[in-house]
Amino acid sequence: MRHIVSALTLAIACSSALAEAPTASKALPLDALTSRISADSLRGHLSFLSSDLLEGRGTPSRGVDLAAEYIAAQFRRAGLEAAGDDGYFQSANWQFAQRKDGDVALTITAGGKTMSLPANGASGNFVDPVSLAATPAVFMSWQAALDDSGAANGKVLVVPAPAISGAAAQLQSKLKSTPALIVMIDRERRHSRGAGGWLIDPAQPVNKSAPPVVLLHAADAAAALEAGGAATVAANVVAPEIKPVKLRNVIGVLRGSDPALKNTYVMLSAHYDHLGIRDGEIFNGANDDGSGTVSVLEIAAAMAAQKERPRRSIVFIALFGEELGLLGSRYYARNPVFPLKDTVANLNLEQVGRTDDSEGAQVNSATMTGYDYSTIGATLQRAGRQTGVRFYKHPVNSDRYFARSDNQALADAGVPAHTLCVAFGFPDYHGKDDTWDKIDYDNMARVNRMVAVALRDIANNRVAPSWTNVPNAAKYLDASRALKAAK
């Protein structure tokens, strides 16, 4: 009985604590912490980080390296302790592979016609060279290819590319047949890294036995193969040029004051990379996620300036490579600087600058993925009331986006981790006009104050945040139990 009672009490407590205010309450007077957060300071940081000079902070690029240096300099200015292997930098020593146009050459014979592709008609994100004479090709749907037990053996398997990330690796790992080569039809270049090349994490095992996957972008050749008649494909793929590349998470820590709790960590994160230059256009990425990055800088400076340190330590981290698949947060989760078992919470900031949400203006309000998955929601609710920000649950995106941003890796490890944002969708999302002049800095300052108050509360609270018992949080609750048990 008691058991049921306590579960019920928790559910009621959670639901009443998370009862949403229809409108933002009046903010309380600023205090020593919240008064240190200023719209002008945020504007100053963002106008530099998302300036054309940094060329959209693509990975890898000179622009993203400049951004990393700037962030480290701001952590240094705030007096944070450097927590990387190279000052504030946690270095990932990876490789960058690049092919020139024409390095992937296919000759296709179908319908009695032979066609060679234009220079950038195909690409391939694999290292080993390929030299394949004209070989019979077989066209299959994605599912038919997965179900096939041998019809494609020794042939060229042609499949349409599905709209899922990592499709090539998925197909390679699930195939039962052994084709000589896979040609994935990708007219929209969804899967190609373009002329820009691709990153290789040397720590990740390479499936050497899998057939290479060539991405076919040329529409006429694709149509000829999709026709399904007798066809052959010959391939000549040159090995790419491979260069070492250093990717950096930028990490600073504000050590806690409590003898015991200072060895536990509250993490505030945001990704500092964006899309770089595409088709000659700079994608400045002011809201995505320059806004989150400058918020980390501003909140770090404000908290470090306080006379009193919070009990727990606070880790401020700017992450690399989010746009290429959450690379920096996944790298950190595999190589944590601070033990994950002692990391009590992660709040990741995404798109906190624009209020012109595609679903309607979002002023004085903020939301979070996995809104009711942990007790962090209630803490933000309280902080929102204090700072005049309505903290609400998005009916769809709270669940939909939970595992699609940089909180995911730590959540999977069991750390209560969420992504907070103002607008999930905005007109210039992943467009060339996501510029710093469109940011609502006063609103962003208010949201920053809410986040700072919540961080302080978590860092001073002797009770660490925990996952709730809502069904969608079950796997994270299990992971956190395993994490604690691993002590």
What element of type H or E holds 455? Answer: helix 441-460
Work out how close the CB of 268 gets to Zn ion at its nearest, in angstroms, rounded to a whole number. 16
Distance, CA of 396 to CA of 297 (rounded, Å): 30
For the chain, the straight-line distance linking the first and the last C-alpha, in angstroms and rounded, comes to: 32
Look at the block and give the residue holding tokens 């494909």. 233
Look at the block and give the residue holding tokens 């012109």. 356
Work out how close the CB of 437 gets to Zn ion at its nearest, in angstroms, rounded to a whole number. 19
Cα separation values, 375 from 19, 186, 345, 370, 457, Å: 13, 43, 10, 10, 12
| Structure tokens given for 131 | 């030299």
Q: Would you call 296 exposed, middle or buried from its count of C-beta atoms within 10 A (0-12, 13-18, 19+)?
A: buried
Q: Which is nearer to Zn ion, 288 or 457 (CB)?
A: 288
Distance, CA of 85 to CA of 403 (rounded, Å): 28
Q: Would you call 150 exposed, middle or buried from its count of C-beta atoms within 10 A (0-12, 13-18, 19+)?
A: exposed
Distance, CA of 109 to CA of 396 (rounded, Å): 48
Q: Can you tell me whether residue 235 is helix, strand or coil?
A: strand
Distance, CA of 209 to CA of 477 (rounded, Å): 37
Stretch that binds Zn ion, among 14-22, 75-83, 283-291, 300-308 (CB under 5 A): 283-291
Count of other CB atoms within 10 angstroms of residue 384: 28
Work out how close the CB of 60 gets to Zn ion at its nearest, in angstroms, rounded to a whole number. 17
Q: Which is nearer to Zn ion, 186 or 289 (CB)?
A: 289
Work out how close the CB of 216 gets to Zn ion at its nearest, in angstroms, rounded to a whole number. 29
Work out how close the CB of 405 gets to Zn ion at its nearest, in angstroms, rounded to a whole number. 7
Distance, CA of 480 to CA of 462 (rounded, Å): 18
Q: Which is nearer to Zn ion, 322 or 457 (CB)?
A: 322
Work out how close the CB of 250 gets to Zn ion at its nearest, in angstroms, rounded to a whole number. 16
Stretch that binds Zn ion, among 178-186, 286-294, 370-378, 434-442 (CB under 5 A): 286-294
> For the chain, how many residues are written?
487
Work out how close the CB of 94 gets to Zn ion at its nearest, in angstroms, rounded to a whole number. 20
> Is residue 288 involved in binding Zn ion (CB under 5 A)?
yes
Stretch that binds Zn ion, among 13-21, 172-180, 289-297, 387-395 (CB under 5 A): 289-297
Q: Which is nearer to Zn ion, 254 or 270 (CB)?
A: 270
Q: Which is nearer to Zn ion, 186 or 288 (CB)?
A: 288
Contact 264, 313 (CB under 8 A): yes
Site for Zn ion in 440-469 (CB under 5 A): none
Stretch that binds Zn ion, among 58-66, 75-83, 285-293, 454-462 (CB under 5 A): 285-293
Q: Can you tell me whether residue 353 is helix, strand or coil?
A: coil
Work out how close the CB of 274 gets to Zn ion at its nearest, in angstroms, rounded to a whole number. 8
Work out how close the CB of 133 gets to Zn ion at its nearest, in angstroms, rounded to a whole number. 45
Q: Which is nearer to Zn ion, 313 or 398 (CB)?
A: 398
Q: Which is nearer to Zn ion, 103 or 289 (CB)?
A: 289
Work out how close the CB of 27 gets to Zn ion at its nearest, in angstroms, rounded to a whole number. 28
Q: Which of 289, 428, 434, 457 binds Zn ion (CB under 5 A)?
A: 289
Q: Which is nearer to Zn ion, 18 or 352 (CB)?
A: 352
Distance, CA of 290 to CA of 56 (rounded, Å): 10
Stretch that binds Zn ion, among 119-127, 155-163, 196-204, 280-288 (CB under 5 A): 280-288
> Is residue 273 involved in binding Zn ion (CB under 5 A)?
no
Count of other CB atoms within 10 angstroms of residue 460: 17
Q: Which is nearer to Zn ion, 407 or 468 (CB)?
A: 407
Q: Which is nearer to Zn ion, 55 or 289 (CB)?
A: 289
| Structure tokens given for 49 | 């980080």
Number of residues that bind Zn ion (CB under 5 A): 2
> Is residue 406 involved in binding Zn ion (CB under 5 A)?
no
Q: Which is nearer to Zn ion, 182 or 268 (CB)?
A: 268
Stretch that binds Zn ion, among 57-65, 284-292, 356-364, 410-418 (CB under 5 A): 284-292
Work out how close the CB of 63 gets to Zn ion at its nearest, in angstroms, rounded to a whole number. 16
Work out how close the CB of 322 gets to Zn ion at its nearest, in angstroms, rounded to a whole number. 6
- Taking alpha carbons only, the member of 389, 393, 354, 402 closest to residue 371 is 393
Q: Which is nearer to Zn ion, 359 or 478 (CB)?
A: 359
Q: How far is CA 317 from the centre of its chain?
A: 13
Look at the block and give the residue holding tokens 């000829």. 224
DSSP-derived pairing of the beta strands 390-392 and 281-283: unpaired
Contact 269, 347 (CB under 8 A): yes
Stretch that binds Zn ion, among 149-157, 186-194, 223-231, 288-296 (CB under 5 A): 288-296
Cα-based torsion angle of the residue sequence 210, 215, 221, 222 in order, rounded to the nearest 10 degrees: 90
Contact residues: Zn ion, CB under 5 A: 288-289
